[in-house]
């Protein structure tokens, strides 16, 4: 395991593989790389001949975080991602895989540094724009619940959430955020949103969108809007656990089709000041 100091946090990460283009994988809200593995959401597990960078977002898993909700907005998390890439793969173009919150982080980072990414795999896109407002209210209510009654009350309340058919076989897990930081993280999530459709329409990076059906927290409306906005993107929908089992292979195929021209990239991608 390795650690990187960024403003207000220490990011815990690891890189598997010792050769090939870099792939960075981002997890969702209240998760971590360990929890994603337990849930079957390690989408890069089928990759060969690549280095795979996985990390815990600030405040999640083994990473630390500050107590400013602004730090947990997706546009702020994009800054952490780009600093990490500067440290691990300076001057390299990389492939990005982002699950839910990670999808939002990846989109903000791509718009900030479009030449940084050779391909995008956007997995289970979360609520956004109009649907984000209702979800934000639930995040704020849950932040208050954790402060008032503790983490177990939050977990008990979540037991009533809709489970998408694709995740019916997933094991039960606990949030990988401390009880002391969880209210701050949730309030930051309530302030987060995807970039505007007008901005997303400027993305030219080859994009694969993987969605699952039947989940109000990751609605098909977001996946469809992203597909319509990003020219040439591909949308695949999982309606059963078997459908989701195909995702690592689909991501591997997508990445193989869009390997970076590393030498040219080093002339375009600059370091952070």
Query: What DSSP character marks residue 68?
Result: -
State mean pLDDT over 229-253.
96
- The number of folded domains in the chain is 1
**CA angle at residue 129 from 164 to 150, to 5 degrees?**
60
What gap in Å lies between CA 88 and CA 94, rounded to an integer? Answer: 11
Average pLDDT, the chain: 94
Structural domain range at position 158: 2-266
Give the model's pLDDT for residue 271: 45
- Does pLDDT of 235 surpass 60? yes
**Cβ atoms within 10 A of the Cβ of 72, count?**
27
pTM, entire model: 0.94
**Residue 213 placed within a domain:** yes
**Residue 82 placed within a domain:** yes
- Does pLDDT of 264 surpass 50? no
Give the model's pLDDT for residue 272: 41
- Does pLDDT of 59 surpass 60? yes
**Residue 79 placed within a domain:** yes
Give the model's pLDDT for residue 263: 36
Which DSSP helix (H) or strand (E) runs through 122? Answer: strand 117-123
Q: Look up the CATH number of the domain holding residue 33.
A: 3.40.50.1820
Could you report the per-residue pLDDT of 178-193, keeping only the tens digit for each? 999 999 999 999 999 9
Give the model's pLDDT for residue 161: 87
Q: How far is CA 138 from CA 64, 129, 178, in A?
A: 24, 15, 19
- Does pLDDT of 261 surpass 80? no
Could you report the per-residue pLDDT of 88-112, keeping only the tens digit for each? 999 999 999 999 999 999 999 999 9
**Residue 45 placed within a domain:** yes
What gap in Å lies between CA 97 and CA 122, rounded to an integer? Answer: 6
Query: What DSSP character marks residue 9?
Result: E
**Residue 271 placed within a domain:** no
**Residue 248 placed within a domain:** yes
Give the model's pLDDT for residue 255: 97
**Confidence label for 39 from pLDDT (cuts 50, 70 and 90):** very high
**Residue 272 placed within a domain:** no
**Confidence label for 273 from pLDDT (cuts 50, 70 and 90):** very low
State mean pLDDT over 220-245.
97
**Residue 138 placed within a domain:** yes
Q: Which residues pair with 237 in a beta bridge?
A: 211
Least confident of 109-113, 130-134, 209-213: 130-134
Could you report the per-residue pLDDT of 142-179, keeping only the tens digit for each? 999 999 999 999 999 988 888 899 999 999 999 999 99
Q: Bin 183: left if φ > 0, else alpha if -120 < ψ < 50, else beta.
A: alpha
Give the model's pLDDT for residue 141: 96
Q: How far is CA 133 from CA 31, 102, 107, 130, 214, in A?
A: 22, 19, 19, 6, 19
Give the model's pLDDT for residue 46: 87
Helix, strand or coil for residue 219? coil
Residue with tokens 């208050």: 144
Helix, strand or coil for residue 158? helix
Q: Tokens in use for 209?
A: 């969108």
């Amino acid at each position: 395991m390795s650690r990187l100091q960024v403003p207000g946090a220490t990011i815990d990460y690891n890189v598997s593989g010792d050769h090939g283009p870099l792939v960075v994988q981002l997890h969702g809200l209240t998760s971590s790389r360990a929890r994603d593995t337990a849930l079957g959401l390690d989408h890069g597990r089928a990759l060969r001949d690549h280095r795979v960078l996985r990390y815990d977002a600030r405040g999640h898993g083994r990473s630390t975080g500050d107590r400013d909700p602004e730090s947990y907005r997706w546009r702020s998390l994009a800054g952490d991602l780009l600093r990490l890439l500067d440290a691990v793969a300076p001057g390299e173009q990389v492939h990005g895989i982002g699950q839910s919150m990670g999808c939002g982080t990846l989109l903000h980072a791509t718009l900030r540094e479009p030449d940084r990414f050779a391909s995008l795999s956007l997995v289970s896109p979360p609520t956004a724009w109009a649907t984000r407002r209702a979800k934000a209210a639930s995040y704020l209510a849950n932040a208050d619940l954790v402060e008032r009654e503790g983490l177990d009350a939050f977990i008990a309340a979540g037991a009533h959430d809709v489970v998408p058919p694709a995740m019916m076989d997933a094991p039960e897990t606990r949030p990988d955020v401390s009880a002391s930081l969880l209210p701050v993280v949730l309030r930051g999530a309530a302030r987060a949103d995807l970039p505007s459709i007008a901005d997303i329409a400027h993305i030219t990076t080859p994009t694969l969108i993987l969605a699952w059906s039947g989940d109000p927290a990751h609605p098909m409306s977001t996946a469809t809007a992203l597909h319509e906005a990003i020219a040439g993107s591909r949308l695949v929908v999982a309606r059963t656990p078997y459908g989701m089992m195909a995702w690592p292979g689909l991501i591997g195929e997508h990445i193989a089709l869009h390997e970076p021209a590393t030498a040219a990239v080093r002339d375009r991608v600059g370091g952070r000041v």
